A = this chain, B = another copy of it.
């Protein structure tokens, strides 16, 4: 019995190429004590993976050349040396881009498909949902009536942020690229205003949508778009720096954070965060997210690619903004 894996074949310079990945076959590892063999069903594709492909200093060690690409997976337990799991259990874990994985039981978490469909545990009731939850409520602290702007608002995190902010009594303004995504913003995701950053005059659109300024900006993109948004902050604004996808493929760093006087003018706060720092509160977040989902207050869209061999292509598409909804690979 063999395993199929996608490994990092080369460190990309700029936008990753398919040749930076390789599909390899290998024997399944032996099951050690307390270990569990999982057959992957769903693989989550997320922008942070671009960071792991690079050697630049970051919050996590880079993936080595020849190592399996990192990624969250939902799968089924095939064999278990941990008495907490039995074959047939559905679990989620950081198992990487591969069809089978062996992991310690403590590195897995059981999921309940009656509470939410299996792939949803990779997003709306998983890491991207938790990212939206803690980023919005803990970092930005919304109050009813706040105007909340979200970039990459139709992405996996952004679609949840908008709906959570709406549930908290805020006005929501989303930015996305292209008419289909923008239609999703004011459609299923319930944004009050959707702005197409590729087609619209963003500054004019923001001025109209946020006449009293922006109280909260949830930043998934960084770069020139964020710079335009910063200019329209309100006094006391909070900005969560969640992602900077506009920067991930740059071979050379872009302009640096120098011209920060606007933070004084607006008495504003920029704060970066990582969802993993809130792991002690994941149960709280998942309970809330699952409740909203059950009550029909959390809509989502998935962008599904079939087959592990198409994962590199789908990941490159994600970095280019080609996905519509949460990027997933069905195995």
A226 at the interface (CB under 8 A from B): yes
The distance from the CB of A164 to the nearest CB of chain B, in whole angstroms, is 20
* Among listed A171-179, A255-263, A294-302, interface-contacting one: A255-263
The distance from the CB of A131 to the nearest CB of chain B, in whole angstroms, is 11
CA distance A102 to B330 in the complex (A): 77
Partner of A264, one of B226, B243, B265: B243
- Whether the pair B273, A270 counts as a contact (CB closer than 8 A) is no
- Whether the pair A259, B253 counts as a contact (CB closer than 8 A) is yes
- Whether the pair B247, A258 counts as a contact (CB closer than 8 A) is yes
Partner of A254, one of B58, B226, B258: B258
A268 nearest CB neighbor, chain B only? B272
- Whether the pair A272, B265 counts as a contact (CB closer than 8 A) is yes
A269 at the interface (CB under 8 A from B): yes
Partner of A244, one of B57, B261, B267, B269: B261
CA distance A230 to B260 in the complex (A): 13
Taking CB atoms, residues of chain B closer than 8 Å to A219 are 260
- Whether the pair A270, B269 counts as a contact (CB closer than 8 A) is yes
A112 at the interface (CB under 8 A from B): no
- Whether the pair A273, B265 counts as a contact (CB closer than 8 A) is no
Partner of A255, one of B259, B271, B274: B259
A223 at the interface (CB under 8 A from B): yes
- Whether the pair B268, A271 counts as a contact (CB closer than 8 A) is yes
Q: Mark A210-252, 1 if CB is under 8 A from B, else 0.
A: 0000000001001110110010000000000111100100000
Report whether over half of chain A's contact residues are helix, strand or loop; otherwise say mixed: loop
- Whether the pair A241, B264 counts as a contact (CB closer than 8 A) is yes
A30 at the interface (CB under 8 A from B): no
A208 at the interface (CB under 8 A from B): no
CA distance A253 to B259 in the complex (A): 7
Taking CB atoms, residues of chain B closer than 8 Å to A197 are none
- Whether the pair B57, A258 counts as a contact (CB closer than 8 A) is no
Q: Mark A40-58, 1 if CB is under 8 A from B, else 0.
A: 0000000000000000011
A277 at the interface (CB under 8 A from B): yes
The distance from the CB of A161 to the nearest CB of chain B, in whole angstroms, is 16
- Whether the pair B244, A227 counts as a contact (CB closer than 8 A) is no
A231 nearest CB neighbor, chain B only? B57
A230 nearest CB neighbor, chain B only? B257
Partner of A274, one of B58, B242, B267: B267
If A224-B258, A257-B257 touch, whether A269 touches B269 (CB-CB below 8 Å) is: yes
Partner of A272, one of B59, B224, B241, B264: B264
* Sample of 6 A–B contacts (CB below 8 Å): A59-B265, A59-B267, A222-B258, A222-B260, A253-B259, A255-B258
Q: A59-B265, A241-B261, A270-B271 are in contact. List 11 more A-B contacts (CB 8 A).
A: A57-B265, A58-B265, A226-B260, A227-B257, A247-B261, A255-B255, A255-B258, A255-B259, A257-B260, A263-B271, A269-B272
